[in-house]
Amino acid sequence: MPPPGRYNTSVTTTLRPTAPELRTEDGGRSRPYEVCVNSRPVGSLTIATDPRFGPRFGRIAGLVVDERDRHRGRGTVAALAAEEVLRGWGCTQVSVDVPAVATTALGLAGALGYVERSRSLNKPLAAPPALPPGSTARPLAEEEFAAWHAAGRAQYVAEWAGRGVPAELAAAKADRDRARLLPHGAGTPGVVLRVLRHEGADVGTLWLALREEEAYVFEVRVAAAHRGRGHGRTLMHLAEREALAAGGRAIALSVFAGNTPALRLYESLGYRATEFHLYKILH
């Protein structure tokens, strides 16, 4: 058996702790490690539980292998060793965030059985796009907020629950996120909530957060009866106009895996992936 805190995965490659394990009152754990070959450090990573979902969900963060030791399987061994540490902690799932430019790391994650849960995208902003004829926008009224919020929460919970997160944990995450992001409802400072109207009818809604030079689209929703008519594109144009009016220079968003229509829309508008969010069930 390997000694506590150190896991041997082969004759030469080990994970060696570099600091004491940290624990939180809610059961969270984290610890940084070196990746070593015959006791020679060749990289590093941090193993932790995921504070979004509790101690049975793990994360591998900051996995780096020194350039001269790459393409020798060091990253593969380190990732597998990290998974074994998480199993020892009682975790049943592990997640990892991989920059879009790290194509080798993305390939490694795929080979190890990680699947995409979502991806982050970004677009630099230039001139404000025009809205199509007949389309206008108005603020979401306070009396509309409760119904809008409930529908968005249900969709958000379903998206997470469909991608490996138990429904009760997805619901708890939705409640935490919305309490943090919309503490004052429709009047929350730095938040843009808009209703898109087209030829006199309400056809969709936009939730945009203004964050210094970069805005963030949390939600674009087109009413079911009005889908397939280009209103999603108009809502994204509206988001860009609002961001530019507030002094933003870029706009970001996340899209869940499998939402091909939304991804195609964003890509056609010039959004490009910046990071992939992957997960794997630990058996």
Return the CATH number at 66.
3.40.630.30
Q: What is the Cα–Cα distance from 178 to 153, expressed in whole angstroms?
A: 8
Last residue of a domain, one of 41, 76, 91: 91
| Statement to judge: residues 151 and 231 lie in one domain | yes
Q: Are residues 36 and 172 in the same domain?
A: no
Same domain? For 259 and 128 the reply is yes
pLDDT at 7: 46
Whether residue 107 is contained in a domain is answered as no
- Res. 141: pLDDT tops 70: yes
**Number of neighbouring beta carbons within 10 Å of residue 206:** 22
Strands (E), 7-148: 7-8, 13-17, 22-23, 29-37, 40-50, 54-65, 93-99, 115-124, 135-139
pLDDT of residue 276: 98
Alpha carbon distance 231, 97 (integer Å): 31
Reduced to 3 states (helix: H, G, I; strand: E, B; else coil), residue 63 is strand
Say if residues 91 and 49 touch (Cβ distance below 8 Å): yes
pLDDT tens string 39-96: 999 999 999 999 999 999 999 999 999 999 999 999 999 999 999 999 999 999 999 9
Structural domains counted in the chain: 2
Within its chain, how far is the Cα of 143 from the centroid? Answer: 30
Range of the domain at 56: 7-91
Residues 173 and 219 in one domain: yes
Query: Which tokens in the block code for residue 227?
Result: 């889908």
In angstroms, rounded to a whole number, what is the distance separating the alpha carbons of residues 251 and 129?
14
pLDDT band with cut points at 50, 70 and 90 for residue 267: very high
Same domain, 66 and 156: no
Half-sphere exposure of 111 (CA within 13 A, CB side): 12
Per-residue pLDDT, 1: 40
Tokens representing residue 170 in the block = 């997805």
Instruction: Check residue 212 and give its pLDDT.
Output: 83
Q: Which of 37, 69, 91 is the last residue of a domain?
A: 91
The answer to whether 96 and 86 are in contact (CB under 8 A) is: no
| Selected residue with higher pLDDT from 3 and 28 | 28
Q: pLDDT per residue over 8-25, tens digit each? A: 444 478 999 999 999 999
Same domain, 86 and 132: no
Query: pLDDT (tens digit, 9 = 90+) per residue, 175-227?
Result: 999 999 999 999 999 999 999 999 999 999 999 999 888 999 999 999 999 99
Q: Are residues 71 and 132 in the same domain?
A: no
